[in-house]
Amino acid sequence: MTPAVVFGGPVSEGTLKISETLGTRTAGLRGLSISPMLGLGGRAITQLRPQSVEDYATARTITHDYDRPVINEGLRSIVAVPVVVGGGARAIIYAAFRQSTPIGSRILDMLGRAGDRLAAEINIRDEVDRRVALIDTLVEGGQAPGTSALIEGIREIHTELRVLTRTIPDSALATSLHALADKLAGLSRGDAPATDVTLSGREVDVLTYVALGCTNAAVAQRLSIKPETVKHYLRGAMGKLDARSRVEAVSRARRLGLLP
């Protein structure tokens, strides 16, 4: 049986705010704030595991602080699944039915998979925020763009951002991460000359690892491709950069602002 209503939202400082609804007939759920331990969602926040009731209005396992919007929506059987990141709930996903029915394993599996995908995305966004904050810290600490400490920080973060883009299924997020990586590369560009040289994403990935001193075999392992494929991308990059060696390719890419 397919849920009649799906809704949820982010958890911030322990409080859930329902921001997304699908299949609702009223506006009562949207924007609702759920406190820890209160209602079904509040239990999911604190217990960090799925919580369900077969008849919300008569359930004795939850508090009834939010009965009005739930009952006005005509919801009876509801399950709330926490999205857990770093040992805490970062979001709650609900599925609900307008009749009393047991919450089966199929529904729990579906919500669990959705929660896992969302947790992975939140994890990545947290990591991006952390690394961008590192650059801000370097700059605020008196490191002007172009100084060695900042450049090394940018290079490390640039590499890790490009790795992250290969681990996520969300193409929109991957595109955003690529754009951020390119922006980081531009921070170290300084007075680099204008260029019409364009490297493909994979060519940049390969050169990024080569710049760290990785062998072709190590690059292949990190990018989950064959060593021969690494050589192909490396030759392509060297040709575009008119470079005769790996080291020269990295050096020219940096001078042109294509790598940090």
User: Domain span at residue 172?
Assistant: 116-190
- Number of folded domains in the chain? 3
Residues 181-235: pLDDT tens digits? Answer: 665 555 555 555 567 888 888 898 899 888 878 899 988 988 889 999 999 999 9
Length of the chain: 260
pTM for the predicted model, two decimal places: 0.61
205 and 176, same domain (yes or no): no
Nearest in space to 47 (alpha carbons), one of 9, 81, 96? 81
Domain membership of residue 108 (yes or no) is: no
CATH number at residue 80: 3.30.450.40
Q: Compute the average pLDDT of residues 70-79.
A: 97
Q: Greater confidence, 238 or 175?
A: 238
What pLDDT is attached to residue 74?
Answer: 96
Domain membership of residue 111 (yes or no) is: no
**Which helix (H) or strand (E) is 241 found in, with range?**
helix 227-241
pLDDT at 69 over 60: yes
What pLDDT is attached to residue 161?
Answer: 66
Looking at 65, 82, 103, the residue that finishes a domain is 103
Six token digits for residue 37: 């331990």
Nearest in space to 214 (alpha carbons), one of 138, 162, 150, 146? 162
Cβ atoms < 10 Å from Cβ of 210: 23
Q: How many Å apart are CA 155 and CA 213, to the nearest integer?
A: 13
Nearest in space to 207 (alpha carbons), one of 167, 240, 170, 177? 240
Looking at 163, 190, 217, the residue that finishes a domain is 190
pLDDT at 9 over 80: yes
- 102-131 residues labelled b (16+ CB within 10 A) or e (exposed): ebeeebeebbeebbeebbbbbbbbeebeeb
Looking at 103, 130, 157, the residue that finishes a domain is 103
Domain membership of residue 109 (yes or no) is: no
pLDDT bracket for residue 50 (50, 70, 90): very high
Q: How many Å apart are CA 238 and CA 2, to the nearest integer?
A: 54
Residues 133-177: pLDDT tens digits? Answer: 765 665 565 554 455 555 555 666 666 666 666 655 556 655 656
Q: What is the mean pLDDT of the chain?
A: 83
- Name, of 46-55, 109-118, 119-128, 238-247, the range with top average pLDDT: 46-55
Q: Which amino acid is present at 245?
A: S
pLDDT bracket for residue 131 (50, 70, 90): low
What pLDDT is attached to residue 157?
Answer: 62
Domain membership of residue 31 (yes or no) is: yes
Domain membership of residue 93 (yes or no) is: yes
